[in-house]
Amino acid sequence: MARRVISRPLLALAAFLLISISGCSKESSIPTSSDNFIIFPPTDLFVLSAHDAGIFVEWSPVAAAGFLYYNVYMGTDSTKLNFISETSNNYFYVDSLNYTTTYFIHVTAVYANGIESPPSNFASAKPVNVYAPVQPIGLTVQGHNDASGKYLSVIWTSNPDGDLAGYEVYRGTASSFQPDTLRFTNLLTTVTTNFLKDTSNIQVGREYYYKIIAFDFAHWRSIPSEPDSDMVLQQPTLIYPANDSAVNYMDNLVFQFNQVPGASGYIFYLSSSAGGGDIYTANIPANQNNYAYSGAAISTGELYYWHVAATTKDPNTPNSVSNVFSFAFTQ
C-alpha cells in the first residue's frame, strides 16, 4: 500500500491552525462571528533609532480579527527577554538605558480570547551617547514673601532627552551673568526635577537671575537656558482701617497702605474670613498707596478682613503679601 506524503509546509500550517483553534475558549467574546481564527504574530520588527540611552522600534501592524494590543519584551540576553510594556501602537520607545549595553527586543500580539501570539523577529541595538541634552526652555522665576517665607520659585519645561540625568541651576545678580561650568562659582544647586524653591541667602529687594543647564548620564551639558529673574519684595504695611477697628458707616471707605520699593502694582483683597473667602479684589497701580472701595455694599455690624499683595511681573500673581487686618462698620 502506497504511503501518503504531506509536504512540510502543509504540515506546519495544519499544526499552526490546530494550536490556534485548540487554544480558543468557547466562552471567549471577540468581535468576529467565530472563535476559529489564526493567531498572527507581529512581523518586520526593526530599530528605527538607537542613541542617547533610547531605542525606538517599529513593526508591521497586525490586522487580524480579534487582535487587541502588543506586548513588548526586552533584555540583554536574547534568550531571556522580560515583559516591559503593552502598547496599541505598532512602535515603541524605551529610554534611560545604558550607553554601552546591547539590548534585544521582540513583540507579541494579544488577542481577545487571551491568546498571545508567538514573538516577532528579534531586533537589537546599543543606544550609545551621541548628543548633549537640548537647551532647557520655559524658565519662569517668581519671588514670594508671604506666610510660607521668603523665596523664589524657579520652574522650567521638562527636557525630552531619554538620557536626562538632571539639571544644574545657576544664579547671578546681573542680567549679563554666565554659568561658570569650570569652577562652579555661581552654581546654586543640582536637581533632578524641573522646579526649585530657592531660599538660599535671599536678600529682599535684590534682583536674582537664573539659568538652567541640563546634563545626561555622561554629564554632557546642554547650552544654558535663556535667563529669567525676579526679586523678593518687602511686605506691604497696612495703615487704614487699622486692625480690629470700627469704621463709621458714613465715612468714605478708602483703604491705605505703604508703597513697596520695586513693586509693579498691587492687589487689594476684601474677604469675609481671615483665611480667605474673597468677596472683592482689585488691581492698584504701582504709584498709588490707597484704594477707594467701590464694590458691593458692606453690612454694618459684620466683621470684614482685608490685605494687600505687591506684584512684580504678572499683575495677578502676588509677590509679597501683607498681614490681614479686620474691621467692622458701625452706624
> 41 in a domain, yes or no?
yes
Task: Report which DSSP code applies to 145.
Answer: E
The Cα–Cα gap between 104 and 106 comes to 7
pLDDT of residue 36: 60
Strand order in the sheet with 103-111: 82-87, 67-75, 103-111, 123-125
Residues 6+ apart with CB under 8 A from 10: none
**If you count DSSP H runs as helices and E runs as strands, how many of each does the chain have, helices first?**
1, 23
Both 28 and 118 in a single domain?
A: yes
Are residues 311 and 265 located together in one domain of the fold? yes
Q: What is the pLDDT of residue 299?
A: 83
Number of domains in the chain: 3
Structural domain includes residue 48: yes
Query: To which H or E segment does residue 187 belong?
Result: strand 187-191
28 & 121 share domain:
yes
Q: What is the CATH number of the domain that holds 29?
A: 2.60.40.10
| Residue 103 in domain | yes
Is the domain of 105 the same as that of 145? no
Mark whether 51 and 68 lie in a shared domain: yes
How many CB atoms sit inside 10 A of residue 205's CB?
12
**81 close to 74: Cβ distance less than 8 angstroms:** yes
Return the H-helix or E-strand segment holding 17.
helix 8-22
Q: 270 and 226, same structural domain? A: no
Same domain for 221 and 257?
Answer: no
DSSP for 218-263, please give it: T-PBPPPPPPEEEEPPPPP-EEESPTTEEEETTS--EEEE---TT-
What's 83-125 look like in SS3? EEEEECCCEEEECCCCCCCCEEEEEEEEECCCCECCCCCCEEE
pLDDT of 35 reads 58
Does residue 166 form part of some domain? yes
Looking at the fold, whether 107 and 150 belong to one and the same domain comes out as no
Contacts of 165 (CB under 8 A, 6+ apart): 192, 215, 216, 217, 219
275 close to 226: Cβ distance less than 8 angstroms:
no
Q: Check whether residue 149 and residue 242 sit in a common domain.
A: no
Q: Is residue 94 part of a domain?
A: yes
Claim to verify: residue 112 and residue 150 sit in the same structural domain? no
pLDDT of residue 227: 97
- Residue 136's contacts (CB-CB under 8 Å, 6 or more residues apart) are 156, 157, 159, 167, 212, 213, 214, 222, 225
Size of the chain in residues: 331
Query: Within a domain: residue 12?
Result: no
Q: Would 177 be classed as within a structural domain?
A: yes
Do 319 and 244 share a domain, yes or no? yes
What residue numbers bound the domain in which 103 lies? 22-125
The residue from 125, 152, 186 where one domain ends is: 125
Instruction: Pick the last residue of a domain from 231, 257, 290.
Output: 231
In the listed set 215, 231, 247, which residue is the last one of a domain according to the structure?
231
AA letter at 80: K
pLDDT tens digit at each of 331 positions of the chain: 333 333 333 333 333 333 333 333 333 333 333 356 689 999 999 999 999 999 999 999 999 999 999 999 999 999 999 999 999 999 999 999 999 999 999 999 999 888 999 999 999 999 999 999 999 999 999 999 999 999 999 999 999 999 999 999 999 999 999 999 999 999 999 999 999 999 999 999 999 999 999 999 999 999 999 999 999 999 999 999 999 999 886 567 899 999 999 999 999 999 988 887 888 999 999 999 999 998 887 888 889 999 999 999 999 999 999 999 999 988 6
- Domain shared by 212 and 264, yes or no: no
- Residue 116 maps to a domain: yes
Locate 3 and state its grid cell.
Answer: 504511503
pLDDT of residue 38: 83
